[in-house]
Structure 1
Amino acid sequence: MAPLLSVSDLRVGFGRDPRQNEIVKGVTFDLEAGETLAIVGESGSGKSVTALSINRLVDFGGGRIIDGSIRLKRADGNILDLAQAAEPVLEKIRGAEIGMIFQEPMTSLNPVLSIGTQIEESFRLHRGLTGRQATAAAKDALDRVRIPDAARRLKYAPNQLSGGMLQRVMIATALACNPRLLIADEPTTALDVTVQAQIMALLGQLKHETGMAMIFITHDIGLVAGIADKVMVMQAGQAVEQGRLDEILDRPQHPYTRHLLGAVPHFESGRATRSDFHREPSKAKSLALAVEGLTVRFKVSGSLFNRSPGSVHAVENVGFDLMPGETLAIVGESGSGKSTTARAILGLVHPTRGSFSTSSGKAADAANPGVQMVFQNPYASLNPRLRVDSILAEPVIAAGGRINAETLERMKALLMRVGLPENSLERYPHQFSGGQRQRLCIARALMLNPSVMVLDEAVSALDVSVQAKVLELLIDLQREYGLAYLFVSHDMAVVERIAHRIAVLYAGQIVEIGDASSVLSNPQHSYTRRLISAVPSIDRRNQHFELDTRQVPSLVRPPGFEPPEAQWRTFGPDHRARAEA
């Protein structure tokens, strides 16, 4: 009996001479109905090109299938070779028999069309529904992916929904016509750990309800353990190893598979935290950063006839301190206020009230060279038109300095220190990989010899092995220069590796703070426990994720609202949590 999908010796190339620019080199695999195949590998391994080739979307990106076959068993039992199929035939298959979820929902959805209009398109194209019938089907699709108040949200624009909600919309669109095969290309990479768990739960339930097969593309092997039946590992365009889930995870044969597994940050409930720094209250005067009563509120605009309903209380009365050589991790899901906190400290967001100071006694803002920031996306935070020497010169010029021989020598020394060659000064950002670009961002932040570095999801966009190397670099730099890190992240396994202390933010407020080992091994607030329980692990095989439809409460408060004073409970010398009602 033929499998649902059979890919044989697939070869894909790009450019004018595809055979000279092969990206996928002889990939072969089979997928049965109801099975989940995880394709894992680092950036550039060819996993996304393989997926895009199955429904021939690679044709629209300058790619071409050079050789091989992609045989799909259709609903009527006939076998169709998608590699040879004409475009009119493929148009009927895409969406109807093969659904696809892309990595970044904000770039996959049209920003000027409502959510409902975009979901209805599938029903119009493949089922011939129009008007109220299409709208009703779109509402049912949102209900299916457990989006509350679906009828009202159909009218929303994409920018009115959170990242997790947008990814659910993408899933609803992909599953609108009950495809027999779903391709999910890094569908949870940009999501918080709790939202990620919800998406995995949703995909698991929908797969069980519909019996569809799934190809799940990811670089997170911990996530693979919870959903896959089979795993295919790709490197440099080739499938270097494939087999059943337990065989790959427990008895990997290829060195690259073992390398990937070794690079995965395993969450160990606080047992793997750093022990190279101890706070000494007697040295409180030498704080690298002190934040007191930080509050950030954004006024909500009213309509012509109605006054403003109030303000968004994005950050509410947040306070903490940071010592030289110490890392404080701020964790929480999207909308919790962690990035707003970081940006307010740097003066990139205007705080409503609160005070900040650094070891120099100056305010911690963008004008203070003692505080520098490394942003999440190294592709977006480097000017593509500037050479590296100009990029590294930017903070010096902004601080009123001059570019002289001494500055150039510092550039060369910092490039060497972050593991980049000296000739990098004459190159452009596009000539570097993602990990190298983040190293450039770190070098740029170090140009002014700061005492505090704010790292806003600085490793979340990187592959696991690259991520591990960047984390090692950050730890080495901290020890060498005595840097204090404010490390903003949603990845608890990464936080466990780098943090000395942890502050957990929920709905704009700190709900738990203290020693990293104590917070992770003995979490006291219910929200901290929920974050930790959602962490994926290669030890949790075929994990059943509980679908949780709870949302972060609305942060819009009426004019004049002031929250009650927080009540705290202490659980050790450096561990306290907010009392819950």
Structure 2
Amino acid sequence: MTPLLSVSDLRVGFGRNPKANEVVRGVGFDIADGETLAIVGESGSGKSVTALSINRLVDFGGGRITGGSMKLKRADGTVVELAAATEPQLTGIRGAEIGMIFQEPMTSLNPVLTIGTQIEESFRLHRGLTGRQATAAARDALDRVRIPDAARRLKYTPNQLSGGMLQRVMIAIALACNPRLLIADEPTTALDVTVQAQIMALLAELKRESGMSMIFITHDIGLVAGIADKVMVMQNGQAVEQGELNQILDSPQHPYTQHLLQDVPHFASGRATRVDGQRDKAANTQPALKVDGLVVRFPLKSTFFSRATGAVHAVDGVDFDLMQGETLAIVGESGSGKSTTAKAVLGLVRSTRGSFSVGTRTATAERGAKPVQMVFQNPYASLNPRLTIESILAEPVIATGGRADAQTRARMAGLLERVGLPKDSLERYPHEFSGGQRQRLCIARALMLNPSVVVLDEAVSALDVSVQAKVLELLLDLQREYALAYLFISHDMAVVERIAHRIAVIYAGQIVEIGDARSVLSKPRHSYTKKLIAAVPTIDRRREHFEVDTRQVPSLVRPQGFEPAPAKWERFGGDHMARVEA
């Protein structure tokens, strides 16, 4: 039987001499009707370039196909050679025969056009629909991807929708004309675990309904286990291993595949939590950070000069203790209040009320405290590109009244060595380092003031999986050496499992469950925690049957003067507690 898509010896290069600068070298695979192929690899492995080459979008980014064949069986039974197809032929294939979901919806959608206009474009180009027919088709497309109140959302611009909603819009556009092949390029990387589960459920349901084939590009092995029929592993522009799903996951042959399966964090339902004894040492010490009754509210006004009519209850009565040498992970969906909590502790967000103490020093939540430092999510945006590394590391010292003297430079050199970077890094600029190295620099900068608490806000989520694993090991080593307390904010439960001693689950601005990491992950008690953990993909769940859940997170907007009822807690042994549900 002729495969839907047959790729053989594909080669793609960039620059003036593409043959000398090939980033995809000799890749080949077949996809049958209704089959899902997962392409796995880290950034720079060539997986996205391979995907862009199939519908020849790589041509618009300076790339050229330098060799190989890509044969597509069209709906009428004819076979077209995509590598040699003309632009008019490709225009008829893109969208109609091959749909594509891109990784970042905010950069893939036009910010000045409404959602409806952008969805209607596919129907106008490929089906010849106009006016009310195109609008009705666009509304049906939004209904198909489970976006509520579709008729009204057609008039929205992209900035009015959440990340999960925007990704659904991208899926609606990609599936508008019922393509026979869908290419999904990291479609869930930037999404929370529950939103990710919904997108996966949606793709699985639409695939069952239409019988389309899919190329799913990811670095998450757990997602691969849940959706793929076949797997191809890429490294340095080559396919190093490919085969049936169970064969690759159970008996990997190539060392790189074995590394992805063994060394990279995968969620194990609490079985991989830390057992280094750090918490036992810290049990009888003063808390490094104590947060009491933290409340953060943002007033809502109809006009700039009018009185507030209500407020967004971003954080509503959060309490926790963080011990010296301990890691407390705060997990929850986007908008749950986890990052706002961290910023309030640092004084980056003004709190409505509440207080915290760092060691023996008590402060109101408005002022912040110097013993607390932060490592941000994006290492590319966290470092000033115009300053040398020496100036960047000296900044926190100078900002707190110190001087960039010989003692400061000696500390810089010592920290650079400790985070695995050469001493000559001080004279270099941020653009001369990789993403993982930049995050190491951010960690070194955070340690310049000898903090007792380090806040890590999604600090490893922007890194490749193996780089992520190395940075996590560095964080663990630094914690053991300096007895640091980490407030670790993340939506990646596999990473949380590896690094956390305790976990606090935040939902709608409130902590709903808190306790020992192993206990919370293996025996969750609150319904939201159960939902969060059930949504985490694992390599143990093969070809999972995803279910679409259309329930929405409750609004955090409350009328002026509203105060929530006092929390009632139930204890489940040790320090594991869950909020009693109404």
Q: TM-score, normalised by structure 1?
A: 0.96
Q: How does 1:516-527 map to 2 (within 5 A)?
A: 516-527=517-528
Structure 1 residue aligned with 2:168: 168
- Report the 3-state secondary structure (helix = DSSP H, G, I; strand = E; otherwise coil) of the residue aligned with 2:84: coil
The residue type equivalent to 1:406 in the other structure is: Q
Partner of 2:390: 389
Instruction: Give the AA of the match of 1:21.
Output: N
Q: Counterpart of 2:515?
A: 514
Match of 1:471 in 2: 472
Match of 1:152 in 2: 152
Q: Tell me which moved more, 316-325 or 273-282.
A: 273-282
The AA in structure 2 aligned to 1:202 is: L
Residue 546 of structure 2 corresponds to 545
Structure 2 counterpart SS, 1:59 = helix
1:378 match: 379
Moved more, 550-559 or 351-360: 351-360
Query: What's the counterpart of residue 329 of structure 1?
Result: 329
- For each residue in 1:96-147, what CA deviation from the matched residue of structure 2 results, as whole angstroms up to 9, or x when unmatched? 2111111111222222222222212222222222222222111111110111
Percent of residue pairs identical: 79
State the match for 2:137 in structure 1: 137
Which residue of structure 1 lines up, in the alignment, with residue 35 of structure 2? 35
Aligned to 2:400: 399
The structural deviation recorded for 1:282 is 7.5
Q: How does 1:526-537 map to 2 (within 5 A)?
A: 526-537=527-538
Provide the C-alpha distance between the structure 1 equivalents of 2:360 and 2:444, rounded to a whole number of angstroms: 22
Listed one character per residue, the Cα deviations across residues 496-521 of structure 1 (whole Å, up to 9, x for unaligned) are 11111110000110001111122112
Determine the structure 2 residue equivalent to 1:301: 301
Are residues 430 and 305 of structure 1, via their aligned partners in 2, closer, same or farther at CA, if it must alter by over 3 Å? closer
Given that 2:504 and 2:515 are in contact with CA atoms closer than 8 Å, whether structure 1 keeps it comes out as yes
- Deviation string for 1:518-538 (max 9, x for gaps)? 211221100011111111111
Provide the C-alpha distance between the structure 2 equivalents of 1:150 and 1:225, rounded to a whole number of angstroms: 32
RMSD of aligned C-alpha atoms? 1.8
After superposition, the C-alpha distances for 1:455-501 in whole angstroms (9 at most, x for unaligned) are 01111122222211111111110010110000001112211111111
Cα distance in structure 1, aligned partners of 2:197 and 2:257: 24
2:272 alignment partner in structure 1: 272
Aligned length: 580
Question: Which residue number corresponds to residue 86 of structure 1?
Answer: 86
How far did residue 446 of structure 1 move? 1.0
1:280 to partner: Cα distance: 7.8
| Residue of structure 2 equivalent to 1:8 | 8
- 1:4-403 counterparts in 2 under 5 A? 4-275=4-275, 276-278=277-279, 283=284, 286-302=286-302, 309-361=309-361, 363=363, 368-403=369-404
User: Are 2:455 and 1:454 aligned?
Assistant: yes
> Alignment partner of 2:184: what SS?
strand
* Superposed CA offset, 1:426-455 (max 9, x none): 333232222222111111111111111000
Tell me, yes or no, if the aligned pair for 2:282 and 2:324 is still in contact at 8 Å: no
Structure 2 residue matching 1:454: 3-state secondary structure? strand
Q: CA contact under 8 A between 2:282 and 2:325: conserved in structure 1?
A: no
Q: Is the 8 A contact 2:232 2:243 kept in 1?
A: yes
Whole-angstrom distance in 2 between the partners of 1:361 and 1:576: 27
SS of residue matched to 1:124: helix
CA contact (8 A) 1:100 1:184 kept: yes
* Residue identity in the other structure for 1:564: A
- Between the aligned partners of 1:326 and 1:304, the Cα distance in structure 2 is 44
1:342-396 per-position Cα deviation (integer Å, ceiling 9, x unaligned):
1111111111111122115153777633111111121222223333222222222
Give the Cα separation in 2 of the matches to 1:304 and 1:406. Answer: 50
In structure 2, relative to structure 1, the CA distance for the partners of 1:307 and 1:174 (3 Å cut) is: farther
SS at match of 1:541: coil
C-alpha change, 1:391 and 1:87, in structure 2 (3 Å) is farther
Q: Which amino acid aligns with 2:487?
A: L
Letter in 1 for 2:542: R
SS of 1:83's equivalent in the other structure is helix
Give the Å deviation of 1:271: 2.6
Deviations 1:529-576 (A, max 9, x none): 111111111111101122111110111111111111111111113011
SS at match of 2:438: helix
Which one-letter code corresponds to 2:457 in the other structure? D
* Aligned AA (2:94): R
User: Which whole-Å CA distance do the structure 2 matches of 1:190 and 1:228 have between them?
Assistant: 20
What is the CA–CA distance in structure 2 between the aligned matches of 1:300 and 1:55, rounded to whole Å? 47
1:318 is aligned with what amino acid? V
The residue number in structure 2 matching 1:489 is: 490
Quote how far apart the aligned CAs of 1:58 are. Answer: 1.1
Moved more, 244-253 or 296-305: 296-305
Cα deviation, 1:240-288, whole Å, max 9, x if unaligned, reads: 111111111111111111111112323232232223223689745x221
CA separation in 2, counterparts of 1:155 and 1:547?
25
Q: Distance in 1 between matches of 2:433 and 2:580?
A: 48
Asked if structure 2 preserves the Cα contact closer than 8 Å seen for 1:365 and 1:371, the reply is no
1:281-332 Cα shifts (integer Å, max 9, x gaps): 9745x22111111111112231599975511111101111111101000011
Aligned partner letter, 1:511: V
Q: Tell me the SS of whatever aligns to 1:288.
A: strand
The structural deviation recorded for 1:405 is 2.1
Q: Tell me the secondary structure at the aligned position of residue 531 of structure 1.
A: helix
TM-score, normalised relative to structure 2? 0.96
Aligned to 1:577: 578
